[in-house]
Amino acid sequence: MTKKIDLQIYTPDKIRNFSIVAHIDHGKSTLSDRLLEATETLSGHKKHAEQFLDKLQVERERGITVKAQTVSMFYHQNNEEYLLNLIDTPGHVDFSYEVSRSLYACQGAILLVDAVDGIQAQTMANFYLAFEQGLKIIPVINKIDLQNAQPEKIAQELQMLFDFNAEDILFVSAKTGEGIPQLLEAIVKRLPAPAAHLDQPLKALLFDSWFDEYRGVVCLVYLQSGSLKKGDQIELAQMEKNYEILEVGLMHPNETPQPTLYAGQVGYIIAGMKTVRDARVGDTIFNPKEPIQPFPGFKPAKPMVFAGIYPIDSSDFNDLQEAIEKLTLNDASVSVEKKTSTALGIGFRCGFLGLLHMDVFKQRLEQEYDQVVIVTAPSVLYKLKLKSGETVDIENPSEFPDPTVIEEILEPIMDATIIVPQKFIGNIISLCEEKLGKQKEMTFLDTERIILKYELPLNEIATDFYDQLKSLSSGYASFDYEGPFYRPADLVKLDILLNGQQVDALSIIVHKEKAYYVGRNLTEKLRKVIPRQMYDVAIQAAIGAKIIARETVKAFRKDVTGYLYGGDITRKMKLLEKQKKGKKRMKQIGKVTVPQEAFYTILKKD
Average pLDDT (30-40) is: 83
User: How far apart, in whole angstroms, are the C-alpha atoms of residue 202 and residue 471?
Assistant: 52
Q: What pLDDT does 136 receive?
A: 93
What separation, in Å, do the N-terminal and C-terminal C-alpha atoms of the chain show?
Answer: 54
- The per-residue pLDDT for 595 is 64
pLDDT at 488: 92
In this structure, of 94-98, 205-209, 289-293, 357-361, the range with the lowest mean pLDDT score is 94-98
Q: What percent of the chain has pLDDT over 90?
A: 15
DSSP H or E segment with residue 590: none
Q: Please report the domains of the chain, with CATH numbers, ordered by start residue.
A: 7-190 (3.40.50.300), 203-286 (2.40.30.10), 305-376 (3.30.70.870), 382-489 (3.30.70.240), 492-603 (3.30.70.2570)
pLDDT at position 297 is 61
pLDDT at 544: 85
Q: Is the pLDDT of residue 576 over 90?
A: no
**Residue 520 confidence (pLDDT):** 92
Average pLDDT score over residue span 217-240: 86
Tell me how far apart the alpha carbons of residues 599 and 602 are, in angstroms, rounded to a whole number.
Answer: 5
Going by the DSSP 8-state scheme, the letter that residue 402 receives in this structure is P
- Report how far apart, in Å, the C-alpha atoms of 381 and of each of 84, 300, 356 are: 42, 17, 17
d(CA 268, CA 220): 4
484 cis-preceded (ω within 30 degrees of 0): yes
Residue 535 vs residue 262, higher pLDDT: 262
Question: Is the separation of the CB atoms in 307 and 337 below 8 Å?
Answer: no
Mean pLDDT score, 439-444: 91
Q: Residue 210's Cα: distance from chain center in Å?
A: 16
What burial class does residue 478 get, using C-beta atoms within 10 Å of its C-beta: 0-12 exposed, 13-18 middle, 19+ buried? Answer: buried
Q: CA of 423: how far to CAs of 354, 437, 449, in Å?
A: 29, 20, 9
The overall average pLDDT reported for the chain is 81
Per-residue pLDDT, 91:
45
For 159-181, write each residue's pLDDT tens digit: 988 889 998 999 998 888 899 99
Helix (H) or strand (E) holding 119: none
pLDDT of residue 516: 92
DSSP-derived 3-state class of residue 44: helix
CA dihedral 470, 475, 480, 484 (to 10 degrees): 0
Q: Average pLDDT of 574-586? A: 73
Across the range 507-523, mean pLDDT stands at 89
Per DSSP, the chain holds a count of helices (H) and strands (E) of 14, 32
More confident of the two residues 344 and 327: 327
Contact 287, 201 (CB under 8 A): yes
Binning pLDDT at 50, 70 and 90, where does residue 562 land?
A: low
pLDDT, tens digit (0-9, with 9 covering 90-100), for 251-274: 887 788 888 889 888 899 998 887
Residues 391-401 pLDDT 10s: 998 888 878 88
Peptide bond into 253 cis (omega under 30): yes
d(CA 567, CA 416): 74
Is the peptide bond preceding residue 139 cis, with omega within 30 degrees of 0? no
Q: Is the pLDDT of residue 555 over 70?
A: yes
**Maximum distance among all Cα pairs of the chain, rounded to whole angstroms:** 108
Between 226 and 5, the more confident residue is 226
Higher pLDDT, 144 or 339: 144
Give the model confidence (pLDDT) of 100-109 as tens digits.
666 677 889 9
Residue 40 has pLDDT above 90, yes or no: no
pLDDT of residue 528: 84
Query: For residue 455, what pLDDT is reported?
Result: 93
pLDDT grade for 507, boundaries at 50, 70 and 90? confident
The amino acid occupying position 432 is C
Higher pLDDT, 202 or 340: 202
The residue count for the chain:
606
503 vs 83, which has greater pLDDT?
A: 83
Q: Cα 342 to the chain's mean position, in Å?
A: 29
